[in-house]
Amino acid sequence: MRKSVTVLGSTGSVGINTLKVIASYAERFEVKGLAAGSQTGILREQIDAFRPSDVYVLDDKSAAELSTAYGKKLKVWTGQNGLTQFSSAVGSDILVAATSGTTALGSVIETLEKGRKVALANKEILVVAGALVMSVLRAHPEAQLIPVDSEHSAIFQCLQGQKKESVQKLILTSSGGPLREVPPSEFFGISKERVINHPKWKMGPKISVDSATLMNKGLEIIEAAWLFDLPVDRIKVLIHPEAVIHSMVEFVDASVLAQLGVTDMRLPIQYALTYPERWQAEEGMRVDFAGLGKLTFALPDRKKFPCLDIAYEAAKCSGTAPCVLSAADEVAVHAYLEDKISFLDIPRIIEKVMSRHSPLKNVDLRKIQEIHQWAVEEANRLCLAH
Ligand code: MG
C-alpha cells in the first residue's frame, strides 16, 4: 500500500526536494495534496506530474485560475485560514510541513491530533509554539513528529535506541554561513547577493539570511530544546565549514555519536518519510571521505554574530519570548531583503522588539497568534522608522 503525502510549501526549496524523493519512490508514495503561496509554473508542473486530488493556494486569484485550468480533476482550496481545513480534509498519512513562518501551525497540530506523521521542515513552528505542539504530540501516542532540518534529523538518528538520561549534550554543527570569513567591518551595507550566497546549502532567501546572521542556528537551538526535551545550556553550537557532520550527541560516558552525509536535503527528507526504515539512496549521494581530506571545527564568533546570543536569551526566558524572537526576525529579514534596513539592523530590531515584551507562559494557540501579530507589527514599525 502506498503512503499518501501532503506537502505544504511544495514550491519552496524543501518542497521541491521532497517531491524529488517521492518521484524516486513512486511505487511507495502518492501525493494527495500540494500547498503553495500562489500558482506558479513550478506548481503547475507539480500538479501535472503528481496528480494530487487537492491543492491549496493562498492567493485567491491563483485559485480561480487553477480551477479553470483543471476543472473537476482538482479540488482547489484558498483563503487566509483555509490551509488547516485543506490538510484536514485531504487527511494524508504524512504531512510535510515545509512552509516558512507559522502558516502551517494549525495543520501540524491537526495532523498530530489525528495520530499521523508530520515531517517537520519548518523550524518556526516549534520556536513559536513548541510547548503546545509537544503537548499535543505527547497526548497522541500514535502521532509522529520527525524532524527534517538536517541538524535535528542527525540528532534524532543519533538518539535512536538511546535513553534520555544517557545524553550529556547536543552539538549542533553550523557551516558558519556565507559571512564566516567576511570581516565585520564589511557588514555595514553588505549586499544581499553576498548574504544569500550560502557556501554549502541551497535554500530560500529567508533561511539564507538567517544562516548569514546565525539566527538560523539560534532558532535551531530552540527547535532542538523542544524536540529532544533538553535545557538550552546543554545544546552547543560548533562551526564546521565542511558541513559533513550534520550534528552530534555527546553521552554521559563521554562517547560521541555523529551523523554524517553529503549536504543534500533529500537525505533528511527521505529519512523523515521512511522512518523507521532506511531505503536505498540514489547514485551520487554518498560521502567521499578521501576526497574531503579533512574536517575542521571552531567555536562561533558570538560578537560578530549577536543573533546567536539573542536566541539563547529568548530560549532561557522561554514562554512567548521565542515567539517574539521569530516574528521580529521574520519581519527584519524581509525588510532587509526589500532594502528597507541594513544587515546590521537585523539584530538591533529583534532585540528592541524583545525588550518590549514580557514573556507569558502556558498560553493557548489564540494567545500565541496574538503575541506573534503584536511582534510583527512592532518590528514593522521599527523597520519603517529606519
Ligand atoms: Mg538546519
Q: What is the pLDDT of residues 69-105, one digit of tens each?
A: 999 999 999 998 899 999 999 999 999 999 988 899 9
Query: Which of the four pLDDT bands, split at 50, 70 and 90, describes residue 204?
Result: confident
Residues, CB-to-ion distance under 5 Å, ligand 1: 149-151
- Reduced to 3 states (helix: H, G, I; strand: E, B; else coil), residue 90 is helix
SS3 content of the chain, % helix, strand, coil (to 5): 50, 15, 35
Matching residue, cell 517531491:
19
Cα(121) to centroid(ligand 1), Å: 9
Q: Give the Å distance between the CA of 14 and the centre of ligand 1.
A: 11
CA of 23 to the centre of ligand 1 (A): 24
In tens, the pLDDT along 335-367 reads 999 999 999 999 999 999 999 999 999 999 899
Which spans in the chain are helix H? 13-24, 41-50, 60-70, 82-90, 105-113, 123-139, 150-158, 192-196, 205-213, 215-228, 266-274, 289-292, 307-317, 321-337, 345-355, 365-384
Mean pLDDT of 113-138: 96
What is the CA(207)–ligand 1 centre distance, in A? Answer: 9
> What is the distance in A from the centroid of ligand 1 to the CA of 151?
5
Which cell goes with 7?
A: 506537502
Give 123 Cα–ligand 1 centroid separation in angstroms.
9
Is residue 195 within 8 Å of residue 179, measured between CB atoms? yes
Q: By C-alpha distance, which of 301, 299, 319 is closest to 359?
A: 319
Between the CA of 258 and the centroid of ligand 1 the distance, in Å, is 15
372 pLDDT above the threshold of 80: yes
Q: How far apart are CA 157 and CA 268, in angstroms?
A: 10
